[in-house]
Structures are given as structure tokens and as C-alpha cells.
């Protein structure tokens, strides 16, 4: 490689870390539907949200006016420990693919949580601390969000109660150990520490738990314990707001090398990584400027955008949370337990859903998990980083687009999100290596059962 | 934090990655004792080493003349995927300690192997590829070196046969899975694929294996299979040569911020991390210039420098390898299985041993593992990175020195090596969190048994 070329890793300076989060809702021209109270079906007010979330986060959740929201200095200082994250030119992958395309990825896995989740975790912990709370609660499935929040709470000296799906806690004792090292209290769910937990255990003493139950337990503890609030790591407007730092940094890095992506590709489960990655580029599109073609990649086993309905639905499996207008498979839909990656959420962030519905996100694409792990393995061998299965969905689509460029001879600039590393997902890699992994594509009948649970709410 | 201060992370540009490795032996004034043939007790020649190692690596192993050895471009290109590694100012840890000391760490954990081992792995794989070999062999205990070498071989399309201590392969199936994802063939040792393995299995069909046996199997396959050579991840001169990139980068980064360390602290097991970290600073000392105070930190459970003998000894437990002059506990010494971190080697890199013997390394310090994990946990909570237990030995000493500075009011500049992350060491963290970890300090009697096995070789 010549020394005058674009470097492998494009870093901003710490001074160039954005000073504000970008609130895309202020630029969205179509009606961004409000979340509805599950009882009254009326838009949720700040007062109604206050028992659950911190005051400042409620404001952010409901804010559709301010384009920019300043990042407090304490959060910027924390960001400086692991940000700006590099924009990486995938030279070795390009060479392996013999593509004329220029492949870039924004790498968010370079911190102990192993993913972008830390960007919002530190913000949510900060506002809890600022409000003088004693602690916060949350749920975690695979443990990525729980780890990020543990780190954030450890840093601010805030208590954290994590309800971890019992079967995950048993299968992944090390994830539990990381959280405990950072000072979190991890309770396998269902537990006998909450009403809902006791009720579940009464019905089935051997229950392995579910994310829906863990959410319910975490919310119950938050609203019934003095000095505690609840936090959530994806889907919410506030989370996409915090994650906007990814896309802002990426755009600035492209300016440094005098380039601009033709394509932006992100994996989409709850939507927090793609929502963050696309932020500043989507701002261009919303403003009618030149903008990339946006691709949301989801697992074929949990295809909310490609096969779901755009409808008001509950945010949780337990159907006690507010309703959001989003692409959904129905709150009762649960992907096969053999589905390896995260991206298991039945719905999609309302912001992404609306942008896709209105054509601003150009394409949603579902990919099967064996193809995803094939792409992940190729990426690992050539780029030297073992990707999270979630991130590998974006890798799969990026490789496919790079191969198309080879066929057409186009030298497109492709940006994809490498949202995290797969160091805690090796069970899935093991299945793939041993050839025992299969795609887990739901049948139409299975989807219909999920759709039947979507409440008949207009809007 | 003000915006004009030294940033949290000091990065060199990719053009500033050193173009040569620094060969400290060329500057060592005292006799650096040669390795001896186990049969003849004469210095090993290149011809005698050729069946085991690649030709170019044999040259490097024996080279005590050339101060700098050029880094081939293909290796530099690989380095650019994860280097230069950042020099990080531990602002948050300083604040927590309320120390006037300036704490810096050179962070080598930001790649999928999780440690500095990749710096030498890619070099060893490159020379094997250049020599037209089909593949290489190695052994691995905890799996760090095996992972690094798997990545390097995956990149160059080289076969890799890893003999993994059977009990580790069973306890850490995920480490095995990482290596396999990068294309390595992992064989639990002892195995029925080698003479020595079969012999061990005959004696004890249920043997859990040992590093010594795994080395023997890897060497046997290398010398008996056409197109294969053997590789090793620490102790050797060539490994310290490759690791010199760490110290060279660190020194250059300090020049950028117009500072120079008063103290350099590294963990020492086989010696590859400290050997690399100290390189350019030790060059100053050897040249009689202003230089840091050097501290080697080892586990109290495997105290080769603090309680060992400086003597010629076998490099392996099986006593079939050459003899090296080094600090050693005797080739038969095996630290307690309850010792958590790596740093289990009975000896110490001959280069470090000589430098310590001659007073160039100022101090060796042994620390107990419960204190080490306490320091690791403090570091994780404040600096946001979960350290490898090995690295946490350096952290423990750095924290102690920072506390001394608080007492004396000195604003010393302290550099320590954060050689890797602890993502695959969570079993040990779990023990620490649960309070079941104990220090594993060998008795004098245990040490005497090891010393008795040291052969009576003059030199």
C-alpha cells in the first residue's frame, strides 16, 4: 500500500466528538406518530412517563422540535475514553472480493461492552445521576445492553438492578460476571423479587424466562422503589438520539477524506445502530440534498420490516407498555430459539419505521443466518475482527453490494455499521463451524398468529 | 476537562508505525548467553534450529548485531488494521486515586486476539508463508497465543495446527471456536496424533494435558511433517524483537505530548509484553541516557524473578528443548491450578533475565492474585476496560506507585502496559466476585523441588 492513500482507520480528534446529539424527529416532515397510553389510547404525556423514566429522558423522548440537544460535558468526557470510534477502510476485504467498491465500516465494538450500546447507556445513567436517583433498573437478554449499562453505572457510582432472562443467565454465566464486576446486581428472571415474577413462577416454577417478563420485572421495581427509574437500550426515540453520535462522526470522517457514501447499510433489530449510523446522512435526505441509498438489514427469522405490518402495537410481549406505531410482527411473536444473533425484537424503532414507510429508508432486506455467519467468517479472516452476529447482517449485505459493483464495474463508496464484536457469541459460531446451524424462517402461518395479536388501533 | 489538555488517547498516524523492529541485543553490553543444545550443551547453531523454526526467524533468534531489522511491508499493512495502538491517559483512574501522578497505559487489547500476541504472530506467519511452507504448528494453554496465530494464519491462508491443553479445550470451548472460525485446526493435547501424545495417553488415558506436553506434540508434528515449522509466542528473542513495536510507538507518543515516563511497569510471565513495552526506553538506559525506572511485575504464585534462580535451564517442562540462561523456578515447577492469570511460565525471557541480573531492570515485584483482581476491578470501573488478569498485575503496581506519589506529592509520569482484555477470563473474575479466590503462594519447599530439577550447567 502506498503511504499517500487513505489510511486504514480514519480517526477524528477528541475535540471533534460531536457536542450535540442530532434529533432527527425535528427534520421528519411526516407525522411521527405519538406513543399511546395502553389504557386510554391517548398520546402519553410527560407526567404519565415520569414514574418510569428520568425527567430529562422523558423530555428527550417527546421532543420533536429541537434539532440538536447538547451533550453534557460529563458524558463527553466518558465518550473520550472510547470515542471517536474509527471509520475503517476494509482494504483487505476489498482485495479478497476483488471489488472496485470502497468499503468502509464504522466500528463501535472497541469498548468492553462490545457494542454501540454504551453510547446511550452512559447518557441514561448520567441523567439518572443528575436527577439524584439512587439507581436504575433494566432487563437484558444476551447481555450486551446490561453490560453497557453496568459500565455506565459503575462509572457514575449508581446502583443497577438487571433482570436477566433466566435461561441466558444460566447459559452465559460470564456475561453475568462482567456485569457484576462493574458492580451491577443481576437477578435471573423470573424472580421471586417482584409480583409479576412470583406470578410467573407460580404458573411455571421451571420457567426459563423471556425478555417480556424481564421488562415487566424491571419496570415494576423501577416504579415501586423509591429513587429508581427504568431504562431501555433500543427502540426508543431517546436511544436513537444518543446513537446519532455514530452517524455524525461518520459523516465528519468522510469529509476528512473528501468522500461521501453512496450506500449506508445497517443491521436492524430494535433499530438503535442503524438509527445512529444513518443520522447525519438521513438529515441530508430529509433536506432534499444528495444522500446515500439506505438499506436496513434484518434477520429472515425476525422480519419485522420485510414481512411485518405498519401498525400501532405494544412495545413488549407482556402488553403492558405503551403502544407505538411501527413495523411489527405482533407482540406475541418470538423468533426461533435457534436464531443466533440479537435482532430478536418483534417491532422496529418508530423513527425507522416511519422513515421506511415514507420511503426515506430505501430498502429493507432480510438475510438468513447461515449466509450471515458465512459473511462474518469471511470478514473475520480478512479484516481481523470477529463481528457480532447482529453486525454480520450488515456485513452480508455490504459484501453482496460489493460483489454487484464488481459485476457492474461501479466504484461505489459503501458504509456499513460494525456495531459490535462477537466475543460472547461463540456458541453460535461453534454451531456454524460444525455445520449444525440452520436458517429459521417463520412460515406465513406463524406470522399470521403474531399479526392476530396486534390490537385494532387506528392511526 | 479543558479542550487544550492532553487527549485521553494519543494516536500516532499509520505512517508513524515503526518501519523496523528494535533488536535490543545489539545494545546489551553484557554477555547475552546463547541457548544451548540439550545434548551437547554447546550453543545451538542455525542449522540445528532450522528443522524447528523458519529460516528467517532462526536468523532473528540468533542476531545480536543488527540494531534494527526492517519490518516487511505485508506485516506493516497488517499492523495498520489494528495499530498504532493508543497510548491512553488514565484520567478517570487518576481522579479516583486523587494522585498527582500522570498515569498512561499502552493498550494492546483492541484486536480480536485480545492482546499484544498478534504483533509477533503475524510476523511468524509471514515468514512461514514467505518460505513457502504449507503451515505451522503451535501449542496454546489459555488460548491467547493460539487465537493470535489463528488470525495471522487465516490472513495469509496458511494452515495452522494448534495443540491445546485438553483441560483448557474442555473448559474454554469458545476459545477453540474462535480459532476454528479463523481456520485453525485445534487438537486437544495429549492426542493420538503424535508419538509423545500416544505415550502420554497410554500412561494416563484421562490426562488433562499440560503445556509441556502440548509443546512436545507441536514440535514433533513440525519436525516430522513436510512443509511445517513450529512457532512460540513468548520467551524467545525473536518474539521480544517483534514486540519492540510497542515500546517504539509508546516513546514516539510521549514525544508528541512532550513527556517521558519516570516509571515503566509491565507484567512479566514469559516476558513478551514487558520486553516490548520497555524496548525504546531501555535503549536509552543502555546508552547511558536519562531513562525510566523499570518494574517487572510477576504473580506471587509463579515468582521466577523474585524467588527464582538465574541459571541455565530447559525451556519446557518436558526437558527436550534447548537450555536458556534465565531466571527460573525449574522446568518442573507448575503454579497452582487456582492461579488465574497467564504468567504461568517457569522461566523468564533470557533478554529480560539478563537485563534484570545486570540491574537495567530496576525492580521485580511479586503480587498476589486477590490484590491483582481488586486492582483490575477498580481499573474496569473507572477506565471502562476489563483488563486481562495478566495485565492487571501491571495495573496493581501502577496503582501502588500512584498512591505513593499521592503521599510524596510527586507528579511522576507512569507508563504501564495494558497487554490485553479479560473477556475470556471471566471464570476468574467470577471467583473473585464471589470471594472464593485465594492467593497461591508456593512454599519454600515447593520451590526447592523445582530448583532441584535445574540441570548443573555452568555459564
The pLDDT value given to residue A5: 86
The pLDDT value given to residue A4: 59
The pLDDT value given to residue B437: 93
Q: Do B421 and A73 touch (CB under 8 A)?
A: no
The per-residue DSSP string of B3-70 comes to: TTSPPSEE---GGGS-SEEE-GGGG--S--PPPB-TTT-SBPPHHHHTTTS-HHHHHHHH--S-SEEE
Q: Do B180 and A433 touch (CB under 8 A)?
A: yes
Contacts of A222 (CB under 8 A, 6+ apart): A51, A52, A136, A137, A228, A229, A230
* A373-418 pLDDT, tens digit each: 999 999 999 999 999 999 999 999 999 999 999 999 999 999 999 9
Looking at the complex, report in whole angstroms how far the Cα of residue B62 sits from the nearest Cα belonging to chain A.
Answer: 31
**A110 vs B contacts (CB less than 8 Å):** 110
- Out of A14, A177, A429, the one facing B426 most closely (by C-beta) is A177
Contacts of B404 (CB under 8 A, 6+ apart): B410
**B182 vs A contacts (CB less than 8 Å):** 380-381
The pLDDT value given to residue B3: 46
Q: Do A382 and B155 touch (CB under 8 A)?
A: yes
Cβ pair A418, A394 in contact under 8 A: yes
State how far the alpha carbon of A357 is from the alpha carbons of A50, A118, A308, A360, in Å. 30, 29, 12, 8
State how far the alpha carbon of B172 is from the alpha carbons of A283, A427, B208, in Å. 46, 11, 13
Task: Kindly give the parts of chain A with pLDDT less than 50.
Answer: 1-3
Element of type H or E holding A164: strand A159-165
ipTM: 0.94
Contacts of A427 (CB under 8 A, 6+ apart): A171, A340, B174, B177
Cβ count within 10 A of residue B430: 18
Cβ count within 10 A of residue B207: 16
Pairing of strands A20-22, A68-70: antiparallel
Q: Do B112 and A386 touch (CB under 8 A)?
A: yes
- Tell me the whole-structure pTM to 2 decimals: 0.95
Burial of B225 (0-12, 13-18, 19+ CB in 10 A): middle
Cβ pair B147, B160 in contact under 8 A: no
Task: Kindly give the parts of chain B with pLDDT less than 50.
Answer: 1-3
Cβ pair B273, B267 in contact under 8 A: yes
The pLDDT value given to residue A20: 98
The pLDDT value given to residue B4: 59
The pLDDT value given to residue B340: 73
Cβ pair A28, A351 in contact under 8 A: yes
Instruction: Give the start-end residues of each E strand in B231-350.
Output: 263-267, 293-299, 309-314, 323-328
Residue with cell 405519538: A34
Whole-number Å distance between alpha carbons of A343 and A330: 15
Looking at the complex, report in whole angstroms how far the Cα of residue B4 sits from the nearest Cα belonging to chain A.
Answer: 9
* B232-261 pLDDT, tens digit each: 999 999 999 999 999 999 999 999 999 999
Residue A246 has phi, psi (to 5 degrees) of -65, -50
Burial of B65 (0-12, 13-18, 19+ CB in 10 A): exposed
Amino acid at each position: 500500500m502506498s503511504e499517500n492513500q487513505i489510511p486504514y482507520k480514519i480517526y477524528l480528534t477528541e475535540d471533534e466528538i460531536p457536542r450535540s446529539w442530532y434529533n432527527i424527529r425535528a427534520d421528519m416532515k411526516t407525522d411521527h406518530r405519538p406513543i399511546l397510553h395502553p389504557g386510554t389510547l391517548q398520546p402519553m404525556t410527560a407526567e404519565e412517563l415520569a414514574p418510569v423514566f428520568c425527567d430529562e429522558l422523558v423530555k428527550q423522548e417527546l421532543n420533536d422540535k429541537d434539532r440538536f440537544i447538547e451533550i453534557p460535558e460529563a458524558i463527553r468526557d466518558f465518550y473520550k475514553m472510547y470515542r471517536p470510534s474509527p471509520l475503517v477502510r476494509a482494504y483487505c476485504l476489498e482485495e479478497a472480493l476483488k471489488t472496485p467498491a470502497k468499503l468502509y465500516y464504522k466500528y463501535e465494538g472497541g469498548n468492553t461492552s462490545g457494542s454501540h450500546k454504551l453510547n446511550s447507556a452512559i447518557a441514561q445513567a448520567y441523567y439518572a445521576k443528575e436527577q439524584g436517583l439512587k439507581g436504575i433498573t433494566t432487563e437484558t437478554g444476551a447481555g450486551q445492553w446490561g453490560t453497557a449499562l453496568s459500565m455506565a453505572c459503575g462509572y457514575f457510582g449508581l446502583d443497577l438492578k438487571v433482570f436477566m432472562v433466566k435461561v441466558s443467565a444460566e447459559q452465559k454465566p460470564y456475561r453475568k460476571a462482567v456485569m457484576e464486576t462493574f458492580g451491577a446486581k443481576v437477578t435471573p428472571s423470573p424472580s421471586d423479587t417482584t409480583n409479576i415474577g412470583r406470578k410467573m413462577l407460580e404458573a411455571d416454577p421451571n420457567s426459563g424466562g423471556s425478555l417480556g417478563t424481564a421488562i415487566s420485572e424491571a419496570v415494576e421495581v423501577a416504579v415501586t422503589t423509591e429513587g429508581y427509574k427504568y431504562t431501555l437500550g433500543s427502540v426508543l426515540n431517546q436511544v436513537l438520539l444518543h446513537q446519532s453520535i455514530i452517524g455524525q462522526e461518520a459523516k465528519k470522517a468522510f469529509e476528512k477524506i473528501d468522500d461521501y457514501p453512496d450506500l449506508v447499510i445497517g443491521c436492524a433489530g430494535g433499530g438503535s445502530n442503524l438509527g445512529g449510523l444513518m443520522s447525519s446522512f438521513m438529515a441530508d435526505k430529509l433536506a432534499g440534498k444528495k444522500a446515500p441509498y439506505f438499506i436496513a438489514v434484518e434477520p429472515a427469522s425476525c422480519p419485522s420490516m420485510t414481512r411485518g405490518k405498519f401498525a400501532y402495537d405494544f412495545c413488549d410481549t407482556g402488553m403492558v407498555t405503551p403502544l407505538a406505531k411501527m413495523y411489527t410482527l405482533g407482540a406475541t411473536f418470538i423468533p426461533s430459539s435457534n436464531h443466533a444473533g440479537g435482532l430478536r425484537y418483534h417491532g422496529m424503532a418508530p423513527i425507522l419505521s416511519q422513515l421506511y414507510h415514507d420511503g426515506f429508508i430505501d430498502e429493507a432486506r432480510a438475510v438468513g443466518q447461515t449466509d450471515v455467519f458465512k459473511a462474518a467468517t469471511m470478514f473475520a479472516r480478512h479484516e481481523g475482527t470477529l463481528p457480532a452476529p447482529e453486525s454480520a447482517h450488515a456485513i452480508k449485505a455490504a459484501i453482496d453490494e460489493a460483489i454487484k459493483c464488481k459485476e457492474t464495474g461501479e466504484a461505489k463508496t459503501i458504509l456499513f455499521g460494525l456495531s459490535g464484536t462477537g466475543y460472547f457469541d461463540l456458541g453460535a459460531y461453534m454451531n456454524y463451524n460444525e455445520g449444525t446451524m440452520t436458517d429459521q424462517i417463520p412460515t406465513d402461518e406463524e406470522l399470521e398468529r403474531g399479526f392476530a395479536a396486534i390490537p385494532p388501533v387506528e392511526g
